[in-house]
Amino acid sequence: MEIKGLAARAAVWSARHRAAAILGWLAFVIAITVVSGQIGTLKTTDTDRGHGDSGRADRIVAEAGFPVDPATEMVLIQKGTPADRATAAEDVARSLTGIGTPAPPIVSPDRQSTLVTFTLPGDDPKAALAATAAVQQRHPDLYIAESGPASADLLINEKLVDGLTTLGMLSIPLALGILLVAFGAVVAALLPVALAVTAIVAAAGLLAVASRAVPTVDATLHVMLLLGLAVGVDYCLFYIRRERDERRAGADPHRALVIAAQTSGRSVWISGLTVIMAMAGMFLTRDATFNSFATGTILVVATAVLGSLTVLPALLSALGDRVDAIKIPGLYRHDSKGRVWSAVVRVALARPLISAALATAALVVIALPVFDLRTKAEGIEDLSPELPVVAAGVAVRDAFPARVAPAEVVVKDDSGVRGPALDAAATQLAVAGDIEVNPAGTVAIIPSGLRLTDLRDGRLAALFPGATVLVTGEAAQDGDFNHQLEASVPWVFGFVLGLAFLLLLVSFRSVAIAVTGLVLNVLSVAAAYGMLVFVFQYGHFAGLLDFAPAGGITNWLPLFLFITLFGLSMDYHVFVLSRIREGHDRGLPTRRAVAEGITGTAGVITSAAAVMVVIFALFATLPIISMKQVGIGLAAAVLLDATIVRAVLLPAVMVLLGRANWWLPRWLRWLPETSHEVAPDEPAKPPEKALEPA
């Protein structure tokens, strides 16, 4: 039979050189892991992540030679009388002597709170936390609690490590359990998990190499685990299921492998290419965090595609029918058709206009809250409100807002910053702490209690004529980040939508298919946004998910989710459309091609979606609200996409369009012909029966 396409040629080569393909993959994974362990992974710095004026200010400070500041912590005292709080503050100062260096206590403007700040010689706050807890026990009628960057980092690291350990322990067994149900055979279920895990390990090693050009952020590995396990399992699932179906239909082992490569293998690399293109859109933000996410996700998807198209065919060729070994009674089935979804599709095809209207209305209703979407920067309130350090941090911020995150005016003057202007800053800028000057006397940092808008209204240039004057601090950094993100949104959206349209157009030679794919995927993303607003902004299920509603979605999340969801939505879209196009290329009428394509993929789509939903939902167990939002957003979108969109809206729309599905303008006929039909020289098929291990 004729071997068409890159995926098929790769599969045939791997099948003929099994040992080279399998050992080569293992050698690649081990080698890159060893190399990454030797060279390490370069991380981004605060100055790498800066934008606008605040980013320039941070870089000036970083290059000015300031001594490294010790970690600063705060102990808040509330309730009781002023005398009680004063006594407790003295107790706190005594208890912290020898652990840190406490400063004189500060009383809040409303006279209801007292704050004791202190510096630590290192960055480990455990002894200070224990001392503060002991003071609280000695003064049970007061509220005494510690918060600060060091204690928050300790909390995040402990909780995040615990959460990720739990996630790692659960994700693989749960994915394996779903695959056991999907395949009904142990060996077939183990293959996708094994390949996905090795792909993630290899991609993590490649990330260390890539970090020389694009430094990484800590969250990148978490995102890679999330995406790598999902797509790695899905790609293998598509491939293995098609190969098994062809064997059950009577094809010999070689032909079954080639057909799987020409169909599912082709879908895998098109889907992978689409996801990679979508992830590349994050580079347009010119943000260090998004650049890191883009690099990590591109590497893990590319590695998963490489493994699916090379080592997987070699393993299937080596195993033969033994891929069905160790069958599970009651779960092993002769076919992969989803009976429930087949019934749903029949209804959609029988009443396409009503089905399309109802499905669209459902997605629109779910998406409606998106019009109220607001964003916010990450803060300590994004951790569980039940944690003492979080509650103390929120209370300190409310009682002493200028002390927690004051704006910082950075003044640079090569002729020297000391002088009358700096002395006048104490009154003009409402100084909220000590003014710092670098050893060279050329850069000053002035903490100010004024609002950011007041500091950026032009008065600073008049205060320091001839000097470079910029504002940084938490509010300034958040504002500049949001401005940078908003400016990049049109470019990112245009890039992702445009490339997805071109890829669908070239793959299926149909303008209608390309436009329909974009519209359906945008609906899925909008519905996911609506779910996020409903849950995290409005606070529904806050108790169940263990978070405190903060009135907004984490500022980097909408753009990240758009890019990720668009790529993942195309995953199923390409796979389903390829099966429909196979039927069309064989001359089937549209209704029958749609019916056979969707019912033929229903079982594998359900299984793949279940794996993704479970893995993504596990991220909702992490203690950081942004990770919860990522997990819930992705899980909700995949669930909606695999049910309402693929089982109802897609077939209904395609039946309504009829022959127009395959419309291509005459001036685009130069696009390359890409057949979705397998070679027609298949031998007669014997009656369907279960395969016995070879």
Residues 63-104 have pLDDT tens digits of 898 887 777 889 999 999 999 999 999 999 999 988 888 888
DSSP H helices in 249-287: 253-260, 266-280
Q: What is the largest CA-CA distance in the chain?
A: 96
For residue 404, name the pLDDT band (cuts at 50, 70, 90): low
Kindly state the tokens that stand for 557: 């999340």
Q: From CA 114, how far away is CA 152, in angstroms rounded? A: 20
Q: Which residue has the tokens 């100084």?
A: 431
CA gap 168, 218 in Å, rounded: 16
pLDDT at position 336: 54
The reported pLDDT for the residue numbered 676 is 52
**Using 50, 70 and 90 to split pLDDT, how confident is the model at 338?**
low
CB 298 within 8 A of CB 280: yes
pLDDT tens, position by position, 181-233: 888 888 988 999 999 999 999 999 999 999 999 999 887 888 888 788 888 88
pLDDT of residue 15: 87
Q: What is the pLDDT of residues 109-139, one digit of tens each?
A: 888 999 998 888 877 888 999 999 999 999 9
Token digits of residue 599:
């019912």
Give the pLDDT confidence score for residue 135 in this predicted structure.
93
CB-CB neighbours of 60 under 10 Å: 20
CA 475 to chain centre: 25
What pLDDT is recorded for position 690? 36
Helix 590-618, helix 219-248: angle, nearest 10: 140
pLDDT of 691 > 70? The answer is: no
3-class SS at 97?
Answer: strand
Question: pLDDT confidence of 535, banded at 50, 70, 90?
Answer: very high
Both tokens assigned to 80: 């009781």
Question: What pLDDT score was predicted for residue 113?
Answer: 93
Residue 425 pLDDT level (bands cut at 50, 70, 90): confident
Q: What is d(CA 77, CA 556) in angstroms, rounded to the nearest whole number?
A: 35
The answer on pLDDT for 553 being more than 60 is: yes
pLDDT band at 171 (very low <50, low <70, confident <90, very high): confident
Q: Counting Cβ atoms within 10 Å, is residue 428 exposed (0-12), middle (13-18) or buried (19+)? A: middle
What confidence score (pLDDT) does residue 689 get? Answer: 39
CA dist 125 to 71, 129, 146, 428, Å? Answer: 9, 6, 10, 36
Q: Which residues on adjacent β-strands are paired with residue 327? A: 185
User: Could you give the C-alpha distances from 619 to 168, 193, 386, 424, 545, in angstroms and in order?
Assistant: 10, 18, 19, 51, 11
Work out the average pLDDT over 537-564. 88
Q: What average pLDDT does the segment 609-636 reach?
A: 87
Residue 460's pLDDT band (boundaries 50, 70, 90)? confident
Share of the chain above pLDDT 90, in %: 31
Report the pLDDT value the prediction gives residue 2, as an integer from 0 to 100. 47
Confidence of residue 360 (pLDDT cuts 50, 70, 90): very high
* SS3 state of residue 470: strand
144/384 Cα distance (integer angstroms) = 19
Q: What is the pLDDT of residue 684?
A: 36
Question: Among 339-348, 428-437, 585-594, 683-692, whose mean pLDDT is lowest?
Answer: 683-692
Predicted local confidence at residue 100, as pLDDT: 84
Can you tell me the mean pLDDT for 365-374? Answer: 94
Contact criterion met (CB below 8 Å) for 90 and 50: no
* Nearest by Cα to 346 from 337, 662, 561: 337
Q: Which helix (H) or strand (E) holds 658?
A: none
- Residue 672 sits at φ, ψ, to 5 deg, of -65, 140
Q: What integer pLDDT is reported at residue 674 of this predicted model? A: 59
Residues 527-544 have a mean pLDDT of 92
pLDDT at 335: 56
Using CB atoms within 10 A of its CB, is residue 100 exposed (0-12), middle (13-18) or buried (19+)?
buried
The residues, any chain, with a CB within 8 Å of residue 419's CB and separated by 6 or more, are none
pLDDT digits (tens, 9 = 90+) for 36-63: 999 999 988 877 778 888 899 989 998 8
Give the β-pairing of 71-78 and 143-147. antiparallel
What is the helix (H) or strand (E) element at residue 373, kind and residue range?
none
Q: Give me the mean pLDDT over the 589-618 stretch.
A: 85
pLDDT surpasses 90 at 465: no
Q: Find the range with the poorest average confidence among 189-198, 259-268, 272-281, 295-304.
A: 259-268
Task: Name the CA dihedral angle for 497, 500, 502, 507, rounded to a multiple of 10 degrees.
Answer: -160
- For 538-547, b where at least 16 C-beta lie within 10 A, e where not — what string? eeeeeeebbb
Give the model's pLDDT for residue 402: 64
Residue 2 Rama label (left phi>0; alpha psi -120 to 50; beta) = beta
Is the model's pLDDT at 692 over the cut of 50? no
Selected residue with higher pLDDT from 690 and 370: 370
Share of the chain above pLDDT 70, in %: 94
**What is the rounded end-to-end Cα distance, in angstroms, of the chain?**
24
Average pLDDT over residues 388-407: 80
Cα Rg of the chain (Å, integer): 29
Residue 149 has pLDDT above 60, yes or no: yes
Domain ranges of the chain: 1-40+164-335
Region class of 41: left (phi > 0), else alpha (psi between -120 and 50), else beta = beta
For domain 1-40+164-335, the CATH architecture is: Up-down Bundle (1.20)
Q: Tokens in use for 494?
A: 């245009």
**447/2 Cα distance (integer angstroms):** 73
pLDDT for 45 equals: 80
**Nearest to 114, CA basis, from 476, 396, 510:** 396
Q: Is the pLDDT of residue 371 over 60?
A: yes
pLDDT of residue 403: 65
Average pLDDT, the chain: 85
| Site of tokens 């409303």 | 110
